[in-house]
Amino acid sequence: MRLKALFCWVVALYLVTAMGCAKARPGKVILFVGDGMGLAQREAARVAGFGPAGRLAMDQLEQISLVTTYSASGYTTDSAAGATAWSAGCKTNNRFLAMSPDSTAVRTILEYARDAGYSTGLVTTTTLTHATPAAFAAHISDRGAEAQIAEQMLATGPDVMLGGGRSFWMPKSQTGSKREDERDLRAEARSAGYEVVQSAGELSRLDLSRPRRLLGLFAEGHLPYRYDWQDEQVPELAALTRTALELLDHNERGFFLMVEGGRIDHACHNNDANRAVWEAIAFDQAVAEGIQYARRWNDTLVIVVADHETGGMSVGTGCYSGFAQIPRQGAFPEHGVQLDSLLCISWTTKSHSAIPVIAGALGPGSGHFRGLVDNTALFPVMMETLGLRP
């Protein structure tokens, strides 16, 4: 009898162990995009925020590549072609979103992941329908058609979509709308099972303890520059990232999440050092959330990359007139960095530059990040981490 009981225990133990082994390891990818964030932007944020010996959160990513960024239509890419290189692994023309240069739709990693049962999310500080997030969930050869892009993104249906650009989701008759029809895409989203929130307060009252689809539209246009915040009802990019991670984490299969600090680029187009630095630091705080999540679970590929550099920015202390200067303690004063001189920022263009950007990575698959790679090389690495094949 005792022998029989022992036998039963051994069989039960074997079954439990076998079931545990059969359960697949989840696939999780967080792609952080600092739009327009070249090495100079990173350096300015590091020194202005934390001093010459300081470190950004993104500096914790030890696997590093240099990334070439040219597009199919030019040596200097725009954000649409740049994001398509990651989302679909293909070079395309500037202004094209997840379309090949001959205008054929190309499937994105978000669509592959969604169809394989992963949760998916897109988070940005720009309009949700702006080039970078749109390249993961829309297929169109004109990145400017944001009203149409909103329809496509809703149809693609990422589980979490957080950003600005409410105008493109509102019916024409409502003040502030940028639509040419009476479709209310927020109402359509509710019908499709999304919770729709429009302020930081509404976001903070959400119950994140159970899975839900979430659409957050926190401004009519882009979210305001972090530097200009007074009493804004806008959540920090870090808070948006934390919310997205809490929701996506409910899916045991895993998830694909893209988080964009989208307005570093805008500030750099204006050669505006203060706003560029604050945007980069706010972006870095979002990266910190991703790294914290990845370190907790040890199963998440975190990538931090830029689509291109903007402004031909340089940093140093040798100023001469006409160049922007920011007090080093000017960014996020709570860091308390006090320096006796100025950090000088100089610019060579109001457009994008073609200089390679940095990609840093941590977690499964991060070993691929070394040497000089092309921006299209990120797609297969992320797909492999999720166990997906194109």
Our finding on whether 272 is near Zn ion (CB under 5 A) is no
Min dist CB 58 to Zn ion, Å, is: 20
> What are the backbone angles phi and psi of residue 260, rounded to the nearest 5°?
-115, 130
Pattern 49-68, binding to Zn ion, x per CB under 5 A?
--------------------
Hunting for tokens 């479709």 — which residue is that? 183
| Three-class SS of 44-77 | HHHHHHHCCCCCCHHHHCCEEEEEECCCCCCCCC
Do residues 364 and 63 make contact, with C-beta atoms less than 8 angstroms apart? no
Phi-psi domain of 129 (left: phi exceeds 0; alpha: psi -120 through 50; beta: other): alpha
Q: Residue 281: name the closest of 234, 335, 242 by CA.
A: 335
For Zn ion, which stretch binds (CB under 5 A), given 4-12, 126-134, 182-190, 265-273? 265-273
CA 33 remoteness from chain centre: 5
Stretch that binds Zn ion, among 101-109, 131-139, 179-187, 257-265 (CB under 5 A): 257-265
* Closer residue to Zn ion (CB): 247 or 268: 268
Residue (of 35, 136, 121) closest to 89 by Cα position: 136
| DSSP states along 158-169 | -SEEEEE-GGGG
Q: How far apart are CA 384 and CA 163, in angstroms?
A: 28
Q: How far is the CB of 310 from Zn ion (least distance, A)?
A: 5
- Residue among 236, 246, 161, 253 nearest 208 (CA): 246
Query: Distance (Å, rounded) from C-alpha 258 to C-alpha 124?
Result: 8
In the block, tokens 């970078």 appear at: 132
Distance CA 26, CA 321 (A): 54
- CA-CA distance, 211 to 215, in Å (whole number)? 13
SS3 for 303? Answer: strand
Judged by beta carbon, residue 266 or residue 328, the one nearer Zn ion is 266
Site string for Zn ion, 290-309 (x = CB under 5 A): --------------------
- What is the C-alpha radius of gyration for the chain, rounded to an integer number of angstroms? 22
Taking the complex as a whole, the smallest distance from the CB of residue 129 to Zn ion amounts, in Å, to: 16
User: Nearer to Zn ion by C-beta: 294 or 358?
Assistant: 358
82 vs 89 by CB, closer to Zn ion: 82
Shortest spacing between CB 79 and Zn ion, in angstroms: 6
* Shortest Cβ 272–Zn ion spacing (Å): 13
Q: Which of 65, 79, 141, 366 is catalytic?
A: 79
In the residue annotation, 71 being an active-site residue is answered as: no
Tell me how far, at minimum, the Cβ of 22 lies from Zn ion, in Å.
47
Interface with Zn ion: number of residues (CB under 5 A): 1
Residue whose C-beta lies closest to Zn ion: 265
Contact at 8 Å (CB) between 309 and 40?
yes
In the complex, least distance from residue 308 CB atom to Zn ion, rounded to whole angstroms: 7
Nearer to Zn ion, 146 or 265 (CB): 265
**Closest CB 88 distance from Zn ion, rounded Å:** 20
Does 265 participate in binding Zn ion (rule CB under 5 A)?
yes
Window contacting Zn ion (CB under 5 A); options: 83-91, 92-100, 258-266, 322-330: 258-266
Using the minimum distance from each CB to Zn ion, give the nearer residue, 266 or 368. 266
Nearer CB in complex with Zn ion: 28/130? 130
Answer yes or no whether residue 43 interacts with Zn ion by CB under 5 A: no
3-state secondary structure of 306: coil
Stretch that binds Zn ion, among 92-100, 183-191, 262-270, 332-340 (CB under 5 A): 262-270
Q: How far, in Å, are 75, 286, 311 from residue 354 at the CA level? A: 6, 26, 10
Nearest residue (CB) to Zn ion, 265 versus 289: 265
Could you list the active site residues?
Answer: 79
Contact residues toward Zn ion (CB under 5 A) are 265
